[in-house]
Amino acid sequence: MSEIWRLSIEELQKAIRDRMVSFRDVADAYLTRIREYDGEVGAFLSVQADTVLKQAEDLDRKYHRGDLRLESLTGIPIAVKDVISTEGIRTTCASRILENYVPPYDATAVQRLKEQNALILGKTNCDEFAMGSSTETSGFFTTRNPLDLERVPGGSSGGSAACVAAWEAPASLGTDTGGSIRQPAAFCGVVGLKPTYGRVSRYGLVAFASSLDVIGPFANTVRDVAIVLKAIAGKDRRDSTSSHQPVEDYLLETDKGVKGMRVGIPSEWLGSGLDDAIKESIQLITKRLQKMDCSLQEVHLPHTKYAIATYYLIATAEASSNLARYDGVKYGYRTPRPADLEEMYRKTRSEGFGDEVKRRIMLGTYALSSGYYDAFYLKAGKVRTLVTQDYLKVFEEVDLLVGPTTPILPFKLGEKISDPLEMYLTDVYTVTANLAGIPGLSLPIAFTSAGLPVGLQILGPHFQEAKLLRLGHAIEQDLGLERPRLAFEKAV
């Protein structure tokens, strides 16, 4: 079978069941793709080629003997963002300070993938400690957008989005603290889901902002995202913030239809600063939703204008606290031959962290300092409550919200890296979901004449991922969108 790498997870499952391809064939297809094209994209920090091939061959032997039960992800290669712990595989957080760190355990999300005999392809590049919106703050190299190699893939989970967009993996795991799954999904033209806070265990996730961080999947279709979410969701005794809420059969839920669904369109998401091409695409989608017998209405989220300021106070304060552990004593990088303890701390952190991480540590430390805590961090917490109440009120009127994922199209490499505030504003539509802890889905709804993707964001009430996936799948089926040829494919 040719072009195995273009198959969805569902199609791969069927091909394996029908014995049209072997597990080794599937592994070979993606590893070959990575070997041929990732030099241009830069999605992976490390690839476990030998291990993956050996595991695939073991699965083939067991399957031929009849000793293997096929789960939804058996033999499916999945990439993992490098802030998620993987036993025996370097987990660097794309930072020099953890360049040689090898965890002795798996994150729960990775463990659950392995329980289904999924193949962990490797670790994907990201903004350092997940702090960024373009994957340009990685301590190692910059990932490029497969649709246009001169543009960013978004961030912080840029490598996880890019490897799926480049057909180097059928699915991947990323993390979302303020939009870090949804924004790169929009920029790369793939599907990305931020689950409800507590839906997926954070055990083994290297913390950035503990009250905001969530692990979630990327894939090329909504149904594939549903498959991965089902595998990784659920209560974990090792994470006290994970929820006992039952895990639904998300794949089954995608086919239930959307007739009569009440869909809200926040007026705050369609104002100034929104790219015209994105606005036009959103308007076309609303017309399609009406034809699908959805009920549309305009709604208001009045505290949205405070979201960016609130987010960057809370996120940086929590980052300041979480990153205090990297001091050169316990593990990670230590500056060579320091004169004394104070110099070891100072040089280790100044040499090991990049500029963006240091910026956020300083902002967060200032916000938490004596005399400023009440004025900044405490007040941000109160505004966070108001943002959450906005959503609770709106979801009494509608089932879901739709709007743009990002205010702009993917921007050029280097275009915003020297202006942190302009970079932060690319998350203006995504941070509120993290502040409120609600789920969000981004899926591609259009491509411009230049081949750049437009992402639609769908938000829903807590633990209503099934509704998001239902609407997302219905829109995906209605559009029948085909991704343009990739940048490196045009040159072939």
Domain residues for the domain of 146 are: 4-256+441-490
| pTM of the predicted structure, to 2 decimals | 0.97
Domain membership flag for residue 400: no
**What is the Cα–Cα distance from 145 to 65, expressed in whole angstroms?**
42
Active-site annotation holder among 133, 134, 156, 157: 156
Domain membership flag for residue 469: yes
Domain count along the chain: 1
Domain membership flag for residue 230: yes
Domain membership flag for residue 176: yes
Domain membership flag for residue 282: no
Domain membership flag for residue 384: no
Active-site annotation holder among 134, 160, 180, 201: 180
The yes-or-no answer on residue 330 being catalytic is no
Q: Which long-range contacts (CB under 8 A, 24 or more apart) does 373-378 make?
A: 376/313, 376/317, 377/313, 377/314, 377/317
**What is the Cα–Cα distance from 127 to 83, expressed in whole angstroms?**
10
Q: What pLDDT tens digit does each residue of the chain (492 aa) get?
A: 779 999 999 999 999 999 999 999 999 999 999 999 999 999 999 999 999 999 999 999 999 999 999 999 999 999 999 999 999 999 999 999 999 999 999 999 999 999 999 999 999 999 999 999 999 999 999 999 999 999 999 999 999 999 999 999 999 999 999 999 999 999 999 999 999 999 999 999 999 999 999 999 999 999 999 999 999 999 999 999 999 999 999 999 999 999 999 999 999 999 889 999 999 999 999 999 999 999 999 999 999 999 999 999 999 999 999 999 999 998 899 999 999 999 999 999 999 999 999 999 999 999 999 888 999 999 999 999 999 999 999 999 999 999 999 999 999 999 999 998 899 999 999 999 999 999 999 999 999 999 999 999 999 999 999 999 999 999 999 999 998 989 887 644
Domain membership flag for residue 218: yes
The yes-or-no answer on residue 442 being catalytic is no
Distances (CA, A) of 415 to 119, 137, 412, 422: 36, 13, 5, 10
End-to-end CA distance of the chain: 21
Q: The domain that contains 97 carries what CATH number? A: 3.90.1300.10
Contact residues for 212 (Cβ-Cβ < 8 A; gap 6+)? 177, 178, 197, 311, 314, 315, 318, 434, 435
**What is the Cα–Cα distance from 161 to 405, expressed in whole angstroms?**
14
The yes-or-no answer on residue 449 being catalytic is no
Domain membership flag for residue 321: no
Strand arrangement, sheet containing 262-266: 44-47, 119-124, 77-81, 171-176, 214-219, 191-194, 440-447, 453-459, 400-404, 262-266, 295-299
